[in-house]
Every structure is written in structure tokens, then in C-alpha cells.
Amino acid sequence: MALNTLVLVVAMTVALGASAIAPQAAAPQREPDVIFVPTPPDVVDAMLKLAKVTSSDLVYDLGSGDGRIPIAAAKTYGARGVGIDIDPERIREATGNARSNGVADKVTFRTDDLFTTDISPATVVTLYLLPSLNLKLADKLMKDLKPGTRIVSHAFDMGDWKPQQTQTVSGRSIYLWTIPQPSQRR
Ligand SMILES: C[S@@+](CC[C@H](N)C(=O)[O-])C[C@H]1O[C@@H](n2cnc3c(N)ncnc32)[C@H](O)[C@@H]1O
């Protein structure tokens, strides 16, 4: 693991421990697996470009934070979007952001656990989680998503499941995979 990635993982994990003991206005159904750290706008743009998002796509952001990825997909490409976050406070914030950006008709947000929620309608999935969470999620992505669905992850890869493309944007790595036909699966 590169040093800057390691620093990021440690920072996100340590902050998660601190957030578990801080008082919270609206408590999630269970503790988030990773804290909210937003993807910078230029990296969001690059992720959507790497996935070749169009107006035909339905973009799911798993752990959607303030909603910036599905909102950008709707504003820039006319795509539809769904954001899933376990923290109801984030969902409230993202829903407000969709309204203030004029895309509330295209983007919805729901409070749910990304490991159990239905992701099967997605044509593009975006991730900014942690290495361990990507590894835990890989089987669900492969099982639940349709062939041809693109997955883009900010900062973290999926171990043995090698990406078909990797880019560096403002010092951040982004990775692309496409769900293969059943006959070509691992
Ligand atoms: C690093 S932030 C990424 C936010 C956004 N995707 C972005 O790139 O700007 C991770 C988000 O995942 C959410 N999260 C953590 N564990 C989750 C889980 N099990 N199910 C759904 N959301 C989760 C957190 O509340 C947080 O908002």
C-alpha cells in the first residue's frame, strides 16, 4: 500500500473511533464503517468521466455522504442517481443539496446499510470507503450487479480483483472495473 494511502486509511479509521464516542444529533442505525470524508470536486469529475457516465445511467454511490457524486452525475450528464448512507444526518444533508442543485427529480437518497441494500438497478457504482470495506463488498458487487455495470473507486482497489483502468487525479488514485458476463467471472 502506498504511503499516502496508508496515511488516509489511518486517519479515516482513527476518526471513526472518535466519532463513535462523540454526541450525535441523529444516530445511525449502527455505527458507520467509515467516517464522512468528501471526494474533492475534480476527483468526482474524473470518476464520472472514467465510468463514461451518460444520461442513460443510474449511478449508485455507496456511502454517499453529502451526495456530491450522484448530484454531479445528474447535473453534468443528466444521469439519475441514488445515494445510500447509513447516517441519517448525511441523508438529510444530501437531500437538501439535491434540491438546492435543482436535481431532486433525478437523484434520491436513502438511509440504509450499503452491505445489505438492493443495488441491482445500478448501471454505475461509485465508492470511497476503505480497503477492507472494498474487499468485503466485492462479492456482493459481483453477485448483485448486471454485466456491463461499471464500478469506480476513489483511493482504494479491490485486492485480487484487478482494475481495468487506474488514473491519478490531484494525487488521488481512482480505479475502474466492469462487471463481466457470468461465463467470464472468477
Ligand atoms: C468517505 S465517505 C464518502 C462520501 C462520498 N461517497 C464521497 O466520495 O464524497 C463514506 C461515507 O460512507 C458512509 N457509511 C459508512 N458505513 C456505511 C454503511 N455500512 N452503509 C452505508 N453508508 C456507510 C459514511 O456515513 C460516509 O458518509
> Whole-angstrom Cα distance, residue 14 to residue 29?
21
**Contacts (Cβ under 8 Å, ≥6 apart) of 123:** 56, 57, 58, 59, 146, 148, 149, 150
Identify the three-state secondary structure at position 109: strand
Strands 150-154 and 165-169 come out as: unpaired
CA of 85 to the centre of ligand 1 (A): 6
Lowest-pLDDT range of 28-37, 59-68, 177-186: 177-186
Q: What is the per-residue pLDDT for 54?
A: 98
Protein residue with least CA distance to atom 8, ligand 1: 39
- The residue ranges of every structural domain in the chain are 41-180
Read off the pLDDT of each residue in 26-54 and give the average, rounded to a whole number: 94
Residue range 98-124, pLDDT digits in tens: 999 999 999 999 999 999 999 999 999
pTM for this prediction:
0.92
Ligand 1 pocket test: pick from 64, 89, 109, 126 the residue with the most ligand atoms within 8 Å of its Cβ.
64
Residue 78 has pLDDT above 90, yes or no: yes
183 C-alpha to ligand 1 centroid (Å): 32
CATH of domain 41-180: 3.40.50.150
